Amino acid sequence: MRTNTLYTIVLIAIIFTCFLTSAHAFQKHTDKFVVVLDAGHGGHDPGNMGNGFKEKDIALNIVLSVGKQLEKNPNIEVVYTRKTDVFVDLFVRGKIANKADADLFVSVHCNSHNSAANGTETFVLGLHANQRNFEVAKKENEVIFLEKDYQKHYDGFDPTSPESVIGLTLMQEDYLDQSILLADMIEGNFTNDLKRKSRGVKQAGFIVLHQTYMPSVLVETGFLTYKPEGTYLNSSSGQSEMSSAIYKAIMSYKSILDQNVGENIYSESTTPMVVKENVPIEEVEVEKTEVVYNNIVFKVQLAASSNKLEPKPFNFNGLSEISREKEGRLYKYFYGYTSDYNKVKELQTTAQKKGYPECFIVAFKDGKRIELNDALKTTAN
C-alpha cells in the first residue's frame, strides 16, 4: 500500500512537471511574433518567365533574405511555406500559416504584362477594383490547375470567373485594416528607400490570401517583362534591397502593434484606403438639435492595438466612456455611445482636441458594426 502511494506521488509529480514544461513551451511560442513567408510558385511551376527570368527563383531568394533578417530578432519566429525549389499547393500554404497561428502572412511574387508596365504593387484580399486587378489575381490563382484534385480543395472556385472572387473576401474582413497597414508600409519603403516606382496598395481576389486567418499581403516586386526591372530583380543587389525594404516594413508594423495607446498608435483612418488630407481642426459650432437613428449606436473609434488596456480615462488622455472590443488579434478602443449623430460629432471633436486627430465615427446595429453610410441612410427622428 505504501509502495502504491509513493508510486502515485511520483507519477503525479512527473505529470505535473511535464505539464509545466509543455505549458512553458507553449507560452514561449505564443510570446513570439510569428511571420509566415511564402515564396510564390516553385518546382514544376516556374511562375512568369519574362525576358527569361524565373519568378520562382527570384521570389524564393527574396523570401529567404527577409527571413534571415527577421530570424536575428529573438522575439520573432519565421515559418516558410517553402525553402527550396518545390511546388506547394496554394491551400497547403494557407494551412502552414494557420497551423503556425501566425501574426502575418507575406507572399512574394513577380509581375508580368504584355506592355511596358513596371513598378511594385502590394495586394490585400478584396474585390477587384478593376479589370487589371482581376487579371493579376487570375494569373496567380490559375496555379491551382496544376494541383491534384483542385476541385476538392477549393470547393468549386473558378479563378477565371469574377463571380468566384466575391466569396473570397468574407473570411479576411477582420484583418483587412492590418493587412492594408502592412501593405502601405511595404510600398512606402519601396518608394522612399529604394526610389522604385510604386503602383500602390490594391485589393484583389488572391486565393492564397483567402486561405489564411491573419493579416496577409501579396507583394508583386516588379515586372519581369519590363527588362530593366527584370534585370534589377534578378540581380543579387536588387533582391537584397527588396528584401530589406520588406523586412523593415514588417518590423515597423510590429513596432506599431507593440506601442501603447496614445503614443502614435495605429488608427484605421491612416490606411491608404480611407486616408484623407490632414485638415486643421477648426473651432466650429456643432448643431445642437438631436438627430436620432433608431436601433443605431454611434461611437468614435480612437485606435486599435495589440495591447489590452483598461478602458479608463488615464489610458486615453482623460476621455471617459471608453469601450473595448477584440477583433482578430487587435483590441479596438471606442469613445462614447449614442444614437444621436450630432452628439457623436461633438464627441469626435472632443476626441480630436484630446490628441486623437485621426479618430473617426463608426456605427453599430444590433451589436454588429455596419457601414456609416448605411446607417445614415436609415430614417432619423
In this prediction, what percent of the chain has a pLDDT beyond 90? 35
Instruction: Kindly report the CATH number assigned to the domain that includes residue 330.
Output: 3.30.70.1070
Instruction: Say yes or no: 36 and 25 in one domain.
Output: no
Secondary structure letter of residue 5 according to DSSP: H
pLDDT band, very low/low/confident/very high, at 168 (cuts 50, 70, 90): very low
Say if 183 falls within a structural domain: yes
Say if 263 falls within a structural domain: no
- For residue 140, what pLDDT is reported? 45
Say if 210 falls within a structural domain: yes
Instruction: Say yes or no: 142 and 217 in one domain.
Output: yes
Instruction: Kindly report the CATH number assigned to the domain that includes residue 87.
Output: 3.40.630.40
210, 175, 172: which is closest to 95 by C-alpha? 210
Q: Which of 47-56, 209-218, 344-353 has the lowest mean pLDDT?
A: 209-218
| Residue ending a domain, choose from 236, 258, 280 | 258
| Residue ending a domain, choose from 200, 226, 258 | 258
Can you tell me the distance from the alpha carbon of 172 to that of 214, in angstroms, rounded to the nearest whole number? 7
What 3-state DSSP class applies to 29?
helix
- Per-residue pLDDT tens digits for 242-281: 999 999 999 988 887 776 343 434 444 433 333 323 333 3
pLDDT > 60? residue 20: no
Instruction: Say yes or no: 160 and 218 in one domain.
Output: yes
Instruction: Say yes or no: 251 and 278 in one domain.
Output: no
| Residue ending a domain, choose from 206, 229, 258 | 258
What 3-state DSSP class applies to 228?
helix
Number of domains in the chain: 3
* Cα-trace Rg, the chain: 24
212, 234, 229: which is closest to 168 by C-alpha? 212
Long-range Cβ pairs for the range 257-260 (8 Å, 24+):
257/305, 257/306, 257/330, 258/306, 258/307, 259/305, 259/307, 260/305, 260/307, 260/309
Instruction: Say yes or no: 59 and 208 in one domain.
Output: yes
303, 352, 348, 357: which is closest to 330 by C-alpha? 303
Instruction: Say yes or no: 229 and 276 in one domain.
Output: no
Instruction: Say yes or no: 71 and 16 in one domain.
Output: no
The helix (run of H) or strand (run of E) holding residue 376 is: helix 372-377
Surface-to-core class of residue 5, CB atoms within 10 Å of its CB (0-12 exposed, 13-18 middle, 19+ buried): exposed
pLDDT > 80? residue 147: no
- For residue 180, what pLDDT is reported? 83
Answer for the pair 122, 147: CB distance below 8 angstroms, yes or no.
no
Can you tell me the distance from the alpha carbon of 246 to that of 338, in angstroms, rounded to the nearest whole number? 42
Can you tell me the distance from the alpha carbon of 139 to that of 153, in angstroms, rounded to the nearest whole number? 19
358, 349, 316: which is closest to 333 by C-alpha? 316
- For residue 50, what pLDDT is reported? 94
β-strand 76-80 against 33-39: which pairing, if any? parallel
Structural domain that includes position 21: 1-30
Instruction: Say yes or no: 123 and 42 in one domain.
Output: yes
Kindly state the cell numbers that stand for 298: 454611434
Answer for the pair 69, 247: CB distance below 8 angstroms, yes or no.
yes
Q: What is the mean pLDDT of the chain?
A: 75
Instruction: Say yes or no: 70 and 146 in one domain.
Output: yes
Can you tell me the distance from the alpha carbon of 182 to that of 187, in angstroms, rounded to the nearest whole number? 9
- For residue 174, what pLDDT is reported? 58
Instruction: Say yes or no: 36 and 24 in one domain.
Output: no
Instruction: Say yes or no: 43 and 16 in one domain.
Output: no
Highest mean pLDDT among 20-29, 49-58, 197-206, 214-223: 49-58
Can you tell me the distance from the alpha carbon of 92 to that of 99, in angstroms, rounded to the nearest whole number? 10
pLDDT band, very low/low/confident/very high, at 69 (cuts 50, 70, 90): very high
- For residue 178, what pLDDT is reported? 81
Type of residue numbered 198: S
Q: Global pTM?
A: 0.58
Integer angstrom CA distances of residue 191 from 82, 187, 296:
28, 6, 42
Kindly state the cell numbers that stand for 281: 481642426
Mean per-residue pLDDT, 24-47: 75
Mean per-residue pLDDT, 100-104: 90
